[in-house]
Structure formats: C-alpha cells, structure tokens
Amino acid sequence: MKWNTTDADMYLKASEYVDTAIIPLIPLNWKKDFKGTVARGEFISLITDEIEKQFKGRVYTIPPFTYLEEESDEVRAERLKQWDDHLFKNGFAHVIYLTSDGDWKRVEEHLPDTLLWIPALPLENVEPSYAKDMVSQQIRQILPMITDKWQSGPKERES
C-alpha cells in the first residue's frame, strides 16, 4: 500500500494484515554531487515502489524520510527513531529502511529496526526495458531478506 487516499481506505479495512512499514531514506544535498544524490534517491524510490507491488496488502510505504547529508549521524538516527516509535505504537511490527546512502551503515546498529542498503545503479542513460530488468534483479535479492525478517519475528523494542 502506498501513501494515498485509496490505499488508506484499504489499510483501514485490513490493518491487521499490514504489519510492515517501508521507509525510503532520501538524502538532500545541493553542494556535493547534487545529481548523484538525486539519482540515489530516485533509485531507492523505484525499489520501494517495486517492493510495494510485490507485497501489497502486507506492507505500507511511508513517505520518504528526507535528511540533509550534512546532518550528524546521531541527529538522523534520533529523528528516524521517532518515526519508528510512532509506527510501532500504531500497529507496525516491522519497519524496513531502504537506502543507497552508505553513511547509514555507520549507525545501523543504533537503528530500531532493519536497514537494507542497496547500492544505486546508474539508470539515467539506460534503456527503460534494461533499467526495469536491473531493478527486477535487485528486487529478487531483496525479497528473501524481507520474508526472512517476517519469519524471524518482530525485533524486541524498548518501551
């Protein structure tokens, strides 16, 4: 399910089946590698959309968590923890963060739930059909990680 009114109605009718929130982590940076930053965000948005299609009815894609690249790791992680706490208190047993920003790997152990770091593929100059194949290959690698997470149960959380 996506963050739109149609899917919101669907969620309200079947919220007991939707236990996983997907949060794309999208950096903002106008000074250093602006176009690369945009491309990484665009790639993660494509991946998020594909995961939502595969698991519609089980996952809800949350609007992107955007942050300034110059924010400290601690500030970012604390802000993200607030989102995570809110989702947990509202019925989500699992939260999966998707990013192409390797900086998140430094704070992964401090995050309350699962981080999936996916290196961005350069899709800008690729034929659309080939780009779709590349994204599909990435999705085939990610889907088992998500289903394994469900099988292992929700992460223990602090109250």
Tokens matching residue 52: 């939502």
Q: Domain of 95: which CATH number? A: 3.40.50
The mean pLDDT of 64-84, rounded to a whole number, is 91
Run of H or E including 26: strand 20-28
Does residue 71 sit within a domain?
yes
The C-alpha atoms of residue 144 and residue 54 are separated, in whole angstroms, by: 12
Q: What one-character-per-residue DSSP string does 95-143 give? A: EEEEES-GGGGGGGGGSSSEEEE-PPP--TTS-HHHHHHHHHHHHHHHH
Return the residue matching tokens 């599909």.
136
Whether the per-residue pLDDT at 80 is higher than 60: the answer is yes
Whether residue 87 has pLDDT greater than 60 = yes
Q: Is residue 8 part of a domain?
A: no
Structural domain total, the chain: 1
Decide if pLDDT at 125 tops 90: no
**56 is a domain residue:** yes
Question: Does residue 157 lie in a domain region?
Answer: no
Q: How far apart are CA 93 and CA 91, in angstroms?
A: 6
Three-state secondary-structure class, residue 21: strand
**Would you say residue 26 lies in a domain?**
yes
Q: Is residue 99 part of a domain?
A: yes
- What pLDDT score does 47 carry? 92
Residue 60, classified by CB atoms within 10 Å of its CB into exposed (0-12), middle (13-18) or buried (19+), is buried
Partnered with residue 44 across adjacent β-strands are none
97 within a domain of the structure (yes/no): yes
Q: Where residue 155 falls among pLDDT bands split at 50, 70, 90?
A: confident
Question: Does 10 map to a domain?
Answer: no
C-alpha 139/C-alpha 37 separation (Å) is 21
pLDDT of residue 59: 94
Two tokens, residue 107: 């704070």
Compute how many other C-beta atoms are within 10 angstroms of the C-beta atom of residue 32: 9
Name which of 10-14, 90-94, 132-136, 138-142 the model is least confident about: 132-136
Range of the domain at 138: 16-146
Length reported for the chain: 159
